[in-house]
Amino acid sequence: MSEMNQGFVLEPKAVKILDQYGICYPGHGLARDAKEAVQAAERLGYPVVLKVVSPDVLHKSDMGGVVVGLEGAEQVRAGVEQIRENIHAAVPSARITGVLVCQQAPPGLEIIVGTLDDSTFGPTVMFGLGGIFAEILKDVSFRIAPLERCDAEEMIQETRGYPLLTGARGQAALDVEALVDLLLGVSRLVMDRGDITELDLNPVRLYEQGLLVLDARILLKN
């Protein structure tokens, strides 16, 4: 099985890379077919999410390659078939190597973290709140890697959405330290490897304690 196509790292491999830097991802298992998907779901516990694993599908959700909220074996089997039908309708030539079965994460504040390889400055880390903040308000911050802890803290604090992290309007304060650790881990990752042209963790769900990366995309230099 090819792990990348034109520099695209398949998500199971991307998750293993993240794990080396202490970056948390939901419990998961790779399944080649519906039978293995059910076995993985039974082991992980319901509800689960299914995500297509294909070197030809970079944006899984856009292609119908993600199914969420599955509560039992029948739903998992139907979800695997639905993903295959959706992907083959959207990209008839797509190679599907399996599905990633993931524990469904609880609700939380969604943020985005990423890196790009700037032609002038080199590896650069990006942080922003997800949803409307990223899509409409463009509320993001950037720093050149490698980051120090003070850099990561400043990145977070300078966004307009920062009060949402600290308990604005009576809401519970979220785990900003876990977020700082995530930014530092991403910085170390891109500096250590030197071959990553783009890294996209979107969304990341932030909680009162800890966080979870729900989707990971890594592109390597050709």
Q: What residues contact residue 136 under an 8 Å CB cut-off, 6+ apart?
A: none
Residue 216: pLDDT above 80? yes
Count CB atoms within 10 A of the CB of residue 205. Answer: 19
Question: What is the secondary structure of 60-117 as a DSSP string?
Answer: TGGGT-EEEEE-SHHHHHHHHHHHHHHHHHH-TT----EEEEEEPPPP-EEEEEEEEE
The predicted-structure confidence for 124-157, as pLDDT tens digits, reads as follows 999 999 876 777 778 999 999 999 999 999 999 9
* Portions of the chain given CATH number 3.30.1490.20: 27-103
Q: What is the pLDDT of residue 3?
A: 37
Q: Write out the two tokens for 77.
A: 């089997």
Q: Compute the distance between CA of residue 51 and CA of residue 30 in angstroms, rounded to an integer.
A: 10
Q: What is the pLDDT of residue 4?
A: 40
The predicted-structure confidence for 38-91, as pLDDT tens digits, reads as follows 999 999 999 999 999 999 998 899 999 999 999 999 999 999 999 999 999 999
Residue 169: pLDDT above 80? no
Q: What is the pLDDT of residue 5?
A: 52
Residue 6: pLDDT above 80? no
More confident residue, 221 or 35: 35
Q: What is the pLDDT of residue 84?
A: 98
Count CB atoms within 10 A of the CB of residue 39. Answer: 15
Q: 109-220: what fold? A: D-amino Acid Aminotransferase; Chain A, domain 1 (3.30.470)
CA proximity to 20, closest of 183, 210, 194, 186: 186
DSSP state of 137: S
Q: What is the pLDDT of residue 130?
A: 86
- 27-103: CATH class: alpha beta
What are the b/e assignments for 21-31, b being 16+ CB within 10 Å? bebbbbebbbb
The predicted-structure confidence for 177-211, as pLDDT tens digits, reads as follows 999 999 999 999 999 999 999 999 999 999 999 99
Band of pLDDT at residue 171, cut at 50, 70 and 90: confident
More confident residue, 6 or 5: 6
The predicted model gives 85-106 an average pLDDT of 97
Residue 74 CB burial class (10 angstroms; 0-12, 13-18, ≥19): exposed
Q: Compute the distance between CA of residue 57 and CA of residue 47 in angstroms, rounded to an integer.
A: 24
* Portions of the chain given CATH number 3.30.470.20: 109-220
